[in-house]
Chain A
């Protein structure tokens, strides 16, 4: 089956939906493909808030937000992008309110704001109330509100269509070719559909499922990032992966930083607020990479609870009223998933794999780029977690993922609406679906191979243990060898389900291939970066090295299968790199 739309959006989280809205408003023939239903997207799991310097509670300025973002990202942030982020955060949050988002309110009826990690007043003096929120379900309300607006504007959705390939015209995307659309697998009956398009936005989110303990949904398998990579687009800054400090022990479900924003403590086995040892000024509200490292240090020093691999998050002193009004969802998670009552008991937590700072390289217009000179890939765009623009640098600040997907989802939609006007619909060859059809059939038809689950859990173990909060050459080399071995095992997997109707067995096998691509480049980029910066913490190279590594990594796969790493300079406009202390 072959169809066409002037613009296509892959993924229906916040970035994809806002882009769709812009295209609908501009009257462009656009459609959104999602392997879920739109309201299932993981934007809906975001909890604590979305930062914008509204100044509703106290003095605030977008320049302060810009600075915090750059410092939080350990100066790997592109500063022109951080400026766009901080400025446009304000208008996008106001626009969300106009769309109906039910923010909590101040006594005078304005959008309420609270503190969040790494967000400060006057360039680092102390915490500032910048995070706009709807209880602790801000992401849920953003996703619902944007979907409601898409319903209002009659946006065309392909629900439960799993995108399995990108189509190209005039060569591969890494060699000057143009993106010509996507091949999608209709989950309900297994039919492959080629959809031609002048502009394709990858808004497919992250790839946290490569780790054992993660806050990420099962769906977060790096699909868009991997598909672009397979067609020659680099993966940028893959070594920077964020571990959120407060995940539920063992299963990784997120307990929002909003808890600490509202005043929760982190305690060691002696009941001591151990952040005093690491960030005396910001304490529990230091950036996530620092807090996660602090927790691991405490555990290594034997100060985990009863000597085990977790510490406590304590909300008891906040009182029931504040807990119920400001943190109802996460305290519900604690009751359901840990069987603990947070009114009366401290909550066992440990770091959980949370967010990819890296992804598909883009410029400020959300257009994908393919080299250190930022050469644009015609017809391809990326936004949200799948993209690396880079506003997060080496470590993302809390709430800035939502700010990113709003600001750059909106920019992507507007840019696509402009770009599609001047170009014709691509021509595609008749056999364009054959390569991916063959790949899928090879898995489906293989009579007896290895179960994919063993490969997935081995991947998750090695990435967690050797490419996690702390890294060193030995562990990374082990990870590299393991991922390589998993890749050869992957070539021999089979599935039980040979059918065409709703075959999730087959699609999960496909997703595992994407995760292996992302893991392979992550490990390669980690090995090459012999410094510590933000979330990339090398025990064998503990210092930041601005002379050699104030640069973004770009990983591409050569024809021989080897990964090539290139570097491009960081854009610095207002703030020269300084030591990062809080």
Chain B
């Protein structure tokens, strides 16, 4: 069937403002939006620019705004979008480099700001540190994050206040705060108790809705908030 793709485009070397361009491509219900973008790029207009790599939802390169929601282009099918018109735009709230490519530097800087690495309090033993299956389960969900930025850039609090550390960074802090092997929870809780930390979350659930990995992000943020309250009590 014929599918109409309306893509928000911007080339800083040619355009003063972003503008929409419409392409018609042949596609089937099981095609993913990434397949359609490739058809445009390879058959019609090689200047169309987007990031992609693994093409099956694990590398996090191709998050973009598809029919008004943040999705991975490689993980959303035509039949899930209902209808033959699909709109595609870059992730909201980040500077646009070109077409569907946004500047990720600020996003990764926020990730780094929460000290996203294990800081054990004791010297490494000869064999593995022991951890019960129950303790591991406490942070299993947040280990799934692929840093695609779909969550952070779907968050109205982030749009309103770009200095907000954002859901993705909190998810990655959660992954260590709740790891029984880590001893630096306090340090991270201090960082996230800051005015640009967890309190900017208004539990709107956009992040949870946007996550292509199905992480219960809002719940993770609430678990971190509770831990901060507990810590200050």
Contacts and interface: CB of A to CB of B under 8 A. Distances in A.
A and B pair up: yes
Given A97-B129, A451-B42, A502 B59 contact: no
B128 A111 contact: yes
B120 to A, nearest CB: 8
Contact of B55 (A97, A151, A218): A218
A102 interface: yes
A108 B132 CA distance: 7
Nearest to B120: A98
B181 A100 contact: yes
B57 A336 contact: yes
A333 B77 CA distance: 12
A499 B11 contact: yes
Nearest to B13: A499
Contact of B139 (A102, A336, A500): A102
A496 interface: yes
Given A100-B181, A148-B118, A499-B47, A40 B98 contact: no
B46 A505 contact: yes
B216 interface: no
A149 B117 CA distance: 6
B218 to A, nearest CB: 20
Contact of B108 (A37, A100, A135, A141): A37
Given A98-B124, A497-B49, A39 B147 contact: yes
A33 to B, nearest CB: 16
A428 interface: no
Interface in B164-207: 176, 179, 181-182
A343 to B, nearest CB: 17
A151 B128 contact: no
A339 interface: yes
Given A109-B132, A497-B47, A502-B98, A99 B56 contact: no
A168 interface: no
B183 to A, nearest CB: 12
Nearest to B130: A109
A111 B133 CA distance: 10
Given A100-B117, A151-B116, A218-B55, A495 B97 contact: no
B47 A496 contact: yes
B233 interface: no
Interface in A83-106: 94, 97-100, 102-105
Contact of B143 (A45, A108, A134): A134
A34 to B, nearest CB: 11
B46 A107 contact: no
B53 A219 contact: yes
A105 B143 contact: no
Given A100-B118, A496-B45, A502-B97, A45 B54 contact: yes
Contacts of A492: none
A188 interface: yes
Interface in B91-109: 97-99, 101, 104, 108
A339 B61 contact: no
Interface string B1-28: 0000000000111100000000000000
A495 B46 contact: yes
A528 interface: no
B129 A98 contact: yes
B112 A151 contact: yes
B30 interface: yes
The 5 closest A-B pairs by CB, nearest first: A100-B118, A496-B46, A109-B130, A453-B42, A148-B117
Interface of B: 11-14, 30, 32, 41-43, 45-47, 49-61, 75, 77, 97-99, 101, 104, 108, 112, 115-118, 120, 124, 126-133, 136, 139-140, 143-147, 176, 179, 181-182, 214
Given A39-B59, A504-B50, 13 more contacts: A40-B53, A45-B59, A102-B136, A102-B140, A105-B130, A111-B128, A144-B145, A332-B214, A337-B56, A339-B30, A497-B46, A500-B13, A502-B49
Interface of A: 36-37, 39-42, 44-45, 94, 97-100, 102-105, 107-111, 134-135, 137, 140-141, 144, 148-149, 151-152, 188, 217-219, 253, 329, 332-333, 336-339, 451, 453, 495-497, 499-505
8 contacts: A39-B146, A99-B117, A151-B117, A218-B52, A218-B54, A329-B58, A501-B11, A501-B13
